[in-house]
Structure 1
């Protein structure tokens, strides 16, 4: 599978990316890939070790004569977001990613591609085996569980890395270089809500919202994309006048992916079914109109259930839960004043579920200011305390403070002008790069982040522009060579 990748340029990079595509690596399941990389390092005579969490480091000594050059750390994460279209059976722990090229872009069939951050990993591996490149001491740091909560970076061993320069290879824009990023935190809300049996004259229906594009909860949050959880809760709110009670709910699969689909089972009075169907049709038209130009394929349906449920939330609990979700912060909270055009603070209602009265929510709050992250988390806590829910914070990580005057950035800008004839755009990203966490553990590091052009990350629409990969490789190789020159 994926043999066509061997024909793409730069061939060494695409060869390694093919191996990544054919080695399942969702978050928490990176062990098989780690074993392959260790075996590859052994075959190349490269030193390798892991820290206590399992993060992998490969090392290559400097080219003779370049021993005094600054040590360079090539950093990328091994895991990928596991998202597939609902009607496509794919086991991300066993099945390979099936890729194809369309009009100069590499796609996967019906699943995420894993270019985020597989191309960064592939580029680091290709650089390590490049015997024609003159370089200083090289370390390739491959972290684990980035997509599920920055676990690898948060648990990275201190005093382990040796380099003084870190190149993060996890950015997704052509012609841009990143020098800062948002911090964030997962907000987890849980409650056990009271239920009551369905009464006579009540029946259950399945409410389904599908067809949204989805996307990255950081870099796509400002685009006005539909969030399936936010929209289906709005529909539930609109049906309350028909005495609907919530039986169950399932929306979103990852806290850092804008949800594309959501499903709810409702208990409705028999006499309200016709009115509910008519209201659903009206709401579908409303939502499609509001999302014109960004999410026009939204589909909202009310259908039969496979098995009639025995109970639903009591009416008051159903109303309170829907009201709290309806009021919860979602999307862009504030734009930055100091960095124009960049989102400062946001929230993604990523994963919501209700089963047997057990309610669970996992949202991802991001901000360039750690204090603003804490404040938005506290707003969640205050809101959901009103319905008796418990709120906790997990996987909190700091932002990456920009250093616009760094020598590393100046060197990259000169190289970009020389190789591509243009000035790179210096950016701060509203996403959780691992750089902020790494800077906290290794404050002496100079860091920048760059990468190829990726669109639709964290969704089955993920794709990468082939020409941008060639540029990315040329810049990476040129920068490492430049650092070896002093």
Structure 2
């Protein structure tokens, strides 16, 4: 392995010793603060917990502009069903599998731990000459860009920012979608389950899931939508009542599993099983190319035992119809960039808490007015079902700056280093660049990073040769800002 790449991976392994689920970044923050202090670097933090580590310029680079290297401290904490891993205390167990780095039973956390590792390794390498640097590490990016939204822009002096949170080497991201989340809540009517009713457990499992922005156009199944189809088909023939339902784990993750407990007349349980089995075969065939591990299972739990309560037939049907009605997946493609999703929705989470239905959906769009429109569509569906629907303020999109001097410098360097052109794209995902740019007008920004596949799922993996290429580009970029290269 390329020696600097090994240094990056070694740092990444150290980072993965520290719990860092979203909103739980205290340990990794303390470790980074100690790392900076041990090197005599100034470490600043704002009220929300973001860190800025100030690194002085190398000799001969004192007049060069300050460069901000930016990433986020938190990670999406997803694990395989049945895994005993405890994200609050257990380290992520990394495994090198040929050219890929993976994790055992969990998300790897390369999104975005590898960005932090790369920044630390750059600073620790005495052979690399660079301008003054600001290592800007934010908190709680994965659950709504909270750190960037609450940042103190006065702590940053630089006006050139390299975000290291992209996941496809050879791609420069220069714009992104904005996003907003909608919460739908409705009290449900419950009553005791009648004697003679049978309890049935239905599960949808084994889906690939993935990032609700980057992967939304990859035709992957949404477990919550599949469950709605199954229940709708069963309710068309049998008077079913829902006892419980739970699907999805994160707002920005395509749901990989959903479970429901149903009550039906005991003499009609076989009919429900037959309906579910028949539709399950159809659904599996629909998703053979994208979700080959999809499983749909119905288990008979036996007669309902007292005191068992379930949602009334009327509210059970209303719940299913709401899930069917809510938009999910790509809504509209970009008119100028036809391969880019312009607007999308993700039916992210559904649960019943204290006899109240809770549904959370996530909407994205590169056009603010279209984002507002799809949010209104989601709210309308909720209100038609008699629910209360509220949408948060979300985060802004990042419009492309076609005159970016940083983009021109990066594309030139990439061509010189690798004898090919990098791709330049706007992506359908939320990046902190949009928020940072709103806080810091005039910031010239670009996003890049090594290749990461299947982020936000236990299948996440990092392509090690891409780490070397991003490293080489970053070194060349920093060195190009010498006093004569401003």
Please report the TM-score for the alignment, with normalisation by the length of structure 1.
Answer: 0.97
Rounded to whole Å, the distance in 2 between the matches of 1:340 and 1:411 is 27
Residues 61 and 481, structure 2, Cα contact 8 Å, conserved in 1: no
- Of 22, 46, 50, 1:55 maps to 50
Which residue in 2 is equivalent to 1:40? Answer: 35
How do residues 19-168 of structure 1 correspond to structure 2 at under 5 angstroms?
19-168=14-163
Rounded to whole Å, the distance in 1 between the matches of 2:3 and 2:14 is 14
Deviation sequence 1:153-197 (CA, Å, 0-9, x none)? 010113221001000000001211000000001111111111111
- Of 401, 417, 420, 2:418 maps to 420
Comparing 387-396 and 210-219, the one that deviates more: 387-396
Rounded to whole Å, the distance in 1 between the matches of 2:59 and 2:320 is 66
How do residues 323-402 of structure 1 correspond to structure 2 at under 5 angstroms?
323-394=321-392, 396-402=394-400
Which residue in 2 is equivalent to 1:257? Answer: 253
**How far apart are 1:362 and its partner, in Å?**
1.3
Which residue in 1 is equivalent to 2:241? Answer: 245
Residues 22 and 97, structure 1, Cα contact 8 Å, conserved in 2: yes
Rounded to whole Å, the distance in 2 between the matches of 1:390 and 1:467 is 49
**How far apart are 1:11 and its partner, in Å?**
2.5
| 2:212 counterpart of 1:217 | yes
Secondary structure of residue in 2 paired with 1:301: strand
Secondary structure of residue in 1 paired with 2:75: coil
Aligned structure 1 segments of 4 or more residues deviating by more than 3 angstroms: 6-9, 304-309
Secondary structure of residue in 2 paired with 1:257: coil
Residues 331 and 346, structure 1, Cα contact 8 Å, conserved in 2: yes
| 2:173 counterpart of 1:178 | yes
Paired residues, number: 481
Secondary structure of residue in 2 paired with 1:372: helix
| 2:414 counterpart of 1:407 | no
Deviation sequence 1:338-388 (CA, Å, 0-9, x none)? 223110000111111024521111111010011111111111111111122
Which residue in 2 is equivalent to 1:203? Answer: 198
Rounded to whole Å, the distance in 1 between the matches of 2:348 and 2:87 is 20
Secondary structure of residue in 2 paired with 1:440: helix
Residues 247 and 355, structure 1, Cα contact 8 Å, conserved in 2: no
Residues 44 and 129, structure 1, Cα contact 8 Å, conserved in 2: no
Residues 284 and 298, structure 1, Cα contact 8 Å, conserved in 2: no
| 2:280 counterpart of 1:281 | no
Secondary structure of residue in 2 paired with 1:159: helix
- Could you list the runs of 5+ residues in structure 1 that have no partner in the other structure? 1-5
**How far apart are 1:424 and its partner, in Å?**
0.3
| 2:186 counterpart of 1:191 | yes
Rounded to whole Å, the distance in 1 between the matches of 2:125 and 2:4 is 15
Secondary structure of residue in 2 paired with 1:285: helix
Which residue in 2 is equivalent to 1:465? Answer: 463
Rounded to whole Å, the distance in 2 between the matches of 1:51 and 1:474 is 32
Secondary structure of residue in 2 paired with 1:401: coil
**How far apart are 1:303 and its partner, in Å?**
1.3
Deviation sequence 1:128-172 (CA, Å, 0-9, x none)? 222222211100000000011111001011322100100000000
Rounded to whole Å, the distance in 1 between the matches of 2:479 and 2:367 is 35
Rounded to whole Å, the distance in 1 between the matches of 2:481 and 2:87 is 39
- Of 408, 433, 439, 2:437 maps to 439
Secondary structure of residue in 1 paired with 2:466: helix
Rounded to whole Å, the distance in 1 between the matches of 2:173 and 2:481 is 18
**How far apart are 1:7 and its partner, in Å?**
9.1
Rounded to whole Å, the distance in 2 between the matches of 1:260 and 1:399 is 27
Secondary structure of residue in 2 paired with 1:422: coil
| 2:428 counterpart of 1:430 | yes
1:17–1:395: structure 2 CA closer, same or farther, 3 Å change rule? farther
Rounded to whole Å, the distance in 1 between the matches of 2:301 and 2:48 is 44
- Of 428, 448, 451, 1:450 maps to 448
**How far apart are 1:91 and its partner, in Å?**
1.1
- Could you list the runs of 5+ residues in structure 2 that have no partner in the other structure? none
**How far apart are 1:64 and its partner, in Å?**
2.5
Secondary structure of residue in 2 paired with 1:90: coil
